[in-house]
Homo-oligomer: A and B are copies of this chain.
Amino acid sequence: MKTVSREQKNIDLRQYMQQVGERARRASREMARAETAAKNSALEAIAADVERSADALAQANRLDLEAGTRAGLDAAMLDRLTLDTRRIAALAQGLREIAALPDPVGEISRLSYRPSGIQVGRMRVPLGVIGIIYESRPNVTGDAAGLCLKSGNAAILRGGSEALHSNQAIAACIHRGLVDAGLPSDAVQVLETADRAAVGELVRMQQYVDVIVPRGGKGLIERISREATIPVIKHLHGVCHVYIDDKADLDKAIRVSFNAKTQRYGTCNTMETLLVARDVAERVLPVLGAMYRDEGVELRGCPATCRILSWAKPATEDDWYEEYLAPILAIRVVAGVDDAIEHIAKYGSQHTDAIVTEDISRARRFLREVDSSSVMVNASTRFADGFEYGLGAEIGISTDKLHARGPVGLEGLTSQKFVVFGDGHIRR
């Protein structure tokens, strides 16, 4: 085996990444002007190819699973890594759903005449080259590629090293589909290296990459935010709240609060802290508390909560900041809507927060004053999702304030430029 110095490896990696970047930039210009029909036919061709290649995909996946088992990945990680028949079908289905979405590119809006006589409007345009960095689930390769393709962008995808073979096998389907439709195969490049340093290069290639979307745990996202010199659309974490107001319809309050916690535990839009108005705590908490207990949810309460629910553990200050992603719920009794808004401003993560109330003035205040990417009235936080919002697939949920907030779908992968029409008009 040839020995290669670390230094030489770094030079090779940098050269490789520069080439990837150049190819992506070139492809992005072709993609920006690609017609909707060509993009849709590429998505359909990739979906068909994925289905035809089910055996090859399963075989590649087996290599990753074997390596993962040898490397001691835990059962949850191996499960996420697995590409079974059902997931392969879902991959193809997801691509067809993206094909069915309206093309955002080129839409001209708000075109109107100005006093000078010129017409000014805005045209929706792709961002250019999107770098996506994600962890084990190979299905992300298909979703992310599909969303970038449909929105007229070029994509550079960097999956987890544990899914290298699976991702390359999916990449082969994508490339064949792109070429079938007459689009550049460089429009989607899946990095072929497992070297972690590739991520460091990717997030600094300002001249080739326009935006980075990290998908994964908090550690990954924090590392990328720290290193990136390119804008990052990031989703840090979801400490979501439901506030039960004293003017709430208690049936709705119980239904929403139970669903927001228990419908799924591991998602970022799951409620992590329940806030209850003092005047209804005695009526609502015993019922809800018993439901949570029967469901196996551990409760951590403020002193007032613990007085009402004998089986709740005392919450510590840290609990209010916690994203459990597990059957654990923090509960706090608050004086009213002001107190709830204050609590959310201090401990929340600006992801998704809901109020349950029949009082329209309090609902209006909560909507206006809670500074989160999704703010809800009488609905479960679990609705904060691209599909539920009608955006189609989502590439992530942004907790940033600039550009895109909340679920990021096709539109979040585009921007708007100004278009001006005149008839020889000049500025006086």
CB-CB contacts of A353-371 with B at 8 A, as 1s and 0s?
0101000000001011101
Q: Given A388-B114, A421-B377 in contact, is the A127-B263 Cβ separation under 8 Å?
A: no
Contact across chains for B371 and A426 when beta carbons are under 8 A apart:
no
A125 to B, closest residue via Cβ? B371
Contact across chains for B251 and A379 when beta carbons are under 8 A apart:
no
- Which one, B114, B252, B403, B407, contacts A423 given CB within 8 A? B252
Contact across chains for B33 and A369 when beta carbons are under 8 A apart:
yes
- Which one, B106, B251, B252, B427, contacts A380 given CB within 8 A? B427
Contact across chains for B424 and A249 when beta carbons are under 8 A apart:
yes
Q: Is the interface of A mostly helix, strand, loop or mixed?
A: mixed
Q: Given A389-B120, A403-B402 in contact, is the A367-B427 Cβ separation under 8 Å?
A: no
Complex Cα–Cα for A235 and B191 (A): 32
Residues of B within 8 A of A263 (CB): 426-427
Contact across chains for A123 and B367 when beta carbons are under 8 A apart:
yes
CB-CB contacts of A397-425 with B at 8 A, as 1s and 0s?
00011110111000000011111111111
Shortest CB distance A32–B (Å): 7
Residues of B within 8 A of A354 (CB): 420
Contact across chains for B249 and A384 when beta carbons are under 8 A apart:
no
Contact across chains for A420 and B123 when beta carbons are under 8 A apart:
no
Residues of B within 8 A of A400 (CB): 231
Point out residues on A near B: beta carbons under 8 Å.
29, 32-33, 106, 112, 114, 116, 118, 120, 123, 125, 127-128, 210-211, 231, 233, 249, 251-252, 255-256, 258-260, 263, 345, 354, 356, 365, 367-369, 371-380, 382-384, 388-390, 400-403, 405-407, 415-427
Complex Cα–Cα for A210 and B114 (A): 32
Residues of B within 8 A of A368 (CB): 32-33, 106, 123
Contact across chains for A401 and B127 when beta carbons are under 8 A apart:
yes
Contact across chains for A418 and B401 when beta carbons are under 8 A apart:
no
Residues of B within 8 A of A402 (CB): 127, 210-211, 231, 233, 402-403, 415
Contact across chains for B369 and A419 when beta carbons are under 8 A apart:
no
Would you mind naming 27 contact pairs between A and B with Cβ atoms under 8 Å apart? A32-B368, A32-B371, A33-B368, A114-B388, A114-B390, A116-B388, A118-B383, A211-B401, A249-B424, A260-B426, A263-B426, A374-B417, A374-B418, A374-B419, A377-B420, A377-B422, A379-B421, A379-B422, A379-B426, A380-B422, A383-B420, A383-B425, A384-B420, A402-B402, A405-B415, A405-B418, A407-B418
